[in-house]
Structure 1
Amino acid sequence: MQNQYGIPAMGFGTYGRNGEAGVEAMLVALETGYRHLDTAQDYGTEAQVGEAVRRSGLPRSEVFVTTKIKTSNFGKGALVPSLRESCETLGLEQLDLTLIHWPSPNNEVPLPVYIEQLGEAHALGLTRLVGVSNFTIAMLKEAQAILGDVPIANNQFELNPLLQNKRLANYCKDAGISVTCYLPIARGILGEVPEIAEIAARHGATPEQVALAFEFTKGYIAIPTSGKAERIRSNFKATRLTLSDEDIRTIESVDRAQRVIDPDWGPEWD
């Protein structure tokens, strides 16, 4: 499953997957069939991602790698060198997708300063695609105007059945911006939602598989993570789960606008 930009819908998040245990988890994911690894400069897992790609034996072209620029690298002249360093750490000549991790906290660095540098990184060939994370609709419009003909390929933000972010997700869909869901399985609490538990039981699936299948049905990308091999494999089975229209409507009805990641310095959410 890939979208219009060739981004595999089932990704593996690497936050917290540090050290050799992190590499092993990524290798399990790649052996299972995941073909998209999501990292970030802030995660400290870029080296592990690069090691896992090399040790997997898979051709580079088969593994989609995303990283995210941390806010301390937004200053004038800082972003491109930071991305070169990420490439060196990963052992890759080019990223598949580079995202701005968060809007600059409290707008300390004006948005045009770092978006223009993101465009420069693309022009230099350091990244095949560019995008953003945690951007509001207004920020997306401003960023796209700055990037001109270079499309915003992706906006990564918190999205799961308990926080469906419909206004932002619908805007992205209409604007041709793919959506990546972080916290796509709501940190494992979806089994406590009766409607989701019932759907899972009926399909012989886990609540996490139901959530991921819902997101894939919506055309989203999801990046669940785990350090446990059995959970990594279990989550991947969501790619083979087909939900009915009634299931989708039921899941849409459980939206609680229940946000987990909401720093004081973050944007004014849509």
Structure 2
Amino acid sequence: MSQAVGPNCYSLMIEDKIMCTHIDQTDNQNYHVPTMGVGTFRLQGNDAYQSVKTALKLGYRHIDTAQVYNNEADVGKAIVDSQIPRSELFITTKIWMDNLDPNRFLNSTQESLFKLKTDYVDLLLVHWPLNDESIPMSRYLNELRKAKTQGFTRHIGVSNFTRKQMQQAIDILGEGEILTNQIELHPYLQNRSVSEFCQKHNILVTAYMPFAYGDVLKDKVIQAIAVKHKVTPAQIVLAWIVQQGFATIPSSTKSKNLASNLEYEQVQLCAKDMASIAMLERNHRLANPDFAPDWD
């Protein structure tokens, strides 16, 4: 049985672990997206395998990977070895820029499914937009739509899109088609204009790198709030993200950290806590490659 825990959010009991799940109110109504996922960025080989296998054992059901991470096969093996029914899992992967060409898009998607050892993913994202317009957005987003209509994915979305690019995507795909925009978001980079646009258009914000490679965990404000609540700085950051109605995908190779991250649910930040963290914004962007868009 589910119980309400916040706007558009419900608790879902899975193997004695309560995981907050977002329900999109448009095209994806009544579909559960686990708010807390496990990311696999920078994890390869046995590190990726063990991280995912451990996370699944602890109760995680949302697994995030990408073609460019070069770990889809490791993630797929961990999923199979967990013996958890596919219907209980939410698997996300992302199409890399080299595969946005319509001649490669669907073939690369099938290659990802083969590596992940699944007939479909729950969410397929365009990893980065093409700013040079060598391939018009309409062409690769129409391929993304085809991946959904052909059953390769249940939902589609984007990653690292600006407000302008999200509006273009909505114009191409229509309102309600984009489930999420996966963006860098943490107390030092709060991405407010993008997240506000997402919320206005019923697009779930998925925060990656929520700890800014550990930088925010050393922050005195975060640490003071953690001491007050008698929890870890990581749990404070995760609670701050989720209380805004966002999902997040922290990664770790340590079982202790993976388990601890799940305990963010025990934290309820007050308005003063939230306001104190909001003051930490400093445009501290870490994911900013040469091909990145002109950020909002």
Which stretch of the first structure deviates more once superposed, 214-223 or 190-199? 190-199
**2:242 aligned with 1:223:** no
**2:1 aligned with 1:4:** no
Letter in 2 for 1:125: G
TM-score under structure 2 length normalisation:
0.88
Match of residue 189, structure 1, among 212, 215, 220: 215
Give the match's secondary structure for 1:106.
coil
CA offsets, 1:131-168, max 9 Å, x none? 00000111111112211366100000100011000010
Aligned 8 A contact 1:119 1:150 in 2: no
Q: 1:77 to 1:149 in 2, by over 3 A?
A: farther
For residue 123 of structure 1, what is the aligned residue in structure 2? Answer: 149
Following superposition of structure 1 onto structure 2, how do residues 45-56 of structure 1 map, counting pairs within 5 Å?
45-56=71-82
Aligned 8 A contact 2:36 2:62 in 1: yes
**2:174 aligned with 1:148:** yes
Q: 1:121 to 1:150 in 2, by over 3 A?
A: farther
**2:103 aligned with 1:77:** yes
CA offsets, 1:199-231, max 9 Å, x none? 011111111111111001001111000111111
Find the aligned partners of 2:47 and 2:294 in 1 and give their Cα distance: 37
Find the aligned partners of 1:134 and 1:21 in 2 and give their Cα distance: 26
For residue 133 of structure 1, what is the aligned residue in structure 2? Answer: 159
Consecutive unaligned residues in structure 1, runs of 5 or more: none
Match of residue 211, structure 1, among 224, 227, 237: 237
Find the aligned partners of 1:28 and 1:226 in 2 and give their Cα distance: 10
Match of residue 199, structure 1, among 225, 249, 252: 225
Aligned 8 A contact 1:161 1:255 in 2: yes
TM-score under structure 1 length normalisation:
0.96
Find the aligned partners of 2:22 and 2:222 in 1 and give their Cα distance: 26
For residue 294 of structure 2, what is the aligned residue in structure 1? Answer: 268
Find the aligned partners of 2:261 and 2:73 in 1 and give their Cα distance: 24
Aligned 8 A contact 2:158 2:182 in 1: yes
**2:128 aligned with 1:107:** no
**2:50 aligned with 1:31:** no
CA shift, 1:185, in A, is: 1.2
User: What do you get for the CA RMSD once the two structures are aligned?
Assistant: 1.3
Which stretch of the first structure deviates more once superposed, 260-269 or 130-139? 260-269
Match of residue 169, structure 1, among 180, 192, 195: 195
More helix by share: 1
Find the aligned partners of 2:131 and 2:54 in 1 and give their Cα distance: 36
Give the match's secondary structure for 1:3.
strand
Letter in 2 for 1:4: I
For residue 264 of structure 2, what is the aligned residue in structure 1? Answer: 238
Find the aligned partners of 1:52 and 1:239 in 2 and give their Cα distance: 26
**2:107 aligned with 1:88:** no
More strand by share: 2
Find the aligned partners of 1:256 and 1:221 in 2 and give their Cα distance: 21
